């Protein structure tokens, strides 16, 4: 009857996460499971990538976990430069891992951010 559309809810949830509080694929899938989205819809999302839950007009949103991790890092730092201290970098890395980003993406994001910051000085 169209009262409940899990795919539409999952699409909306993923879009809201990307816009306001980017999360990694693992965290997004866990949140969808907590909200009762069936495994079939989550599996379709995983197999087709993050764009499976998106409408075509949402092209401005991040499509990869790397992009989401970069956005989450930028929001966390709030314009401050990426610290050089290894312990501070480790804390920031753990912040991103707790938000569902894969450790490989986190390392790449921190290295990419480090290079971007040093070029601007």
Residue 53: CB atoms within 10 A of its CB come to 25
**Given CA atoms 74, 78, 82, 85 in this order, what sign does their dihedral have?**
negative
Name the more confident of 65 and 30.
Answer: 30
Q: What is the pTM of this model?
A: 0.66
Phi-psi bin for 81: left (phi > 0), alpha (psi -120 to 50), beta?
Answer: beta
CA distance 44 to 41: 5
Using pLDDT thresholds of 50, 70 and 90, give the confidence band for residue 121: very low
Which pLDDT value is given to residue 120?
A: 40
Q: Which of these ranges, 17-21, 31-35, 44-48, has the smallest mean pLDDT?
A: 44-48
Backbone angles phi, psi at 46, to 5 degrees: -65, -45
Q: pLDDT digit string (tens) for 36-80?
A: 999 999 888 776 654 444 455 545 677 788 888 888 898 889 899
> What is residue 8's predicted lDDT score, i.e. its pLDDT?
86
At residue 108, does pLDDT exceed 90? no
Average pLDDT of the chain to the nearest whole number:
80
Which has more pLDDT, 68 or 121? 68
Looking at residue 117, what is its pLDDT?
A: 40
pLDDT score of 30 more than 80: yes
Q: What is the mean pLDDT of residues 6-17?
A: 88
Can you give the length of the chain in residues? Answer: 121
Buried/exposed code over 5-15 (b: 16+ C-beta within 10 A; e: otherwise): eeeebbbebbe
Domain borders along the chain are 6-58, 65-120
């Amino acid at each position: 009857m169209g009262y409940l559309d899990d795919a539409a809810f999952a699409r909306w949830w993923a879009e809201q996460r990307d816009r306001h509080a980017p999360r990694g694929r693992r965290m997004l899938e866990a949140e969808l499971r907590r909200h009762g989205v069936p495994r079939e819809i989550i599996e379709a999302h995983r197999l087709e990538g993050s764009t499976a839950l998106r409408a075509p007009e949402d092209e401005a949103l991040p499509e990869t976990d790397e992009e989401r991790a970069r956005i989450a890092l930028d929001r966390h730092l709030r314009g401050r430069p990426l610290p050089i201290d290894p312990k501070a970098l480790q804390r920031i890395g753990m912040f991103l891992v707790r938000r569902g980003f894969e450790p490989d993406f986190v390392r790449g994001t921190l290295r990419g951010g480090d290079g971007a910051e040093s070029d601007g000085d």
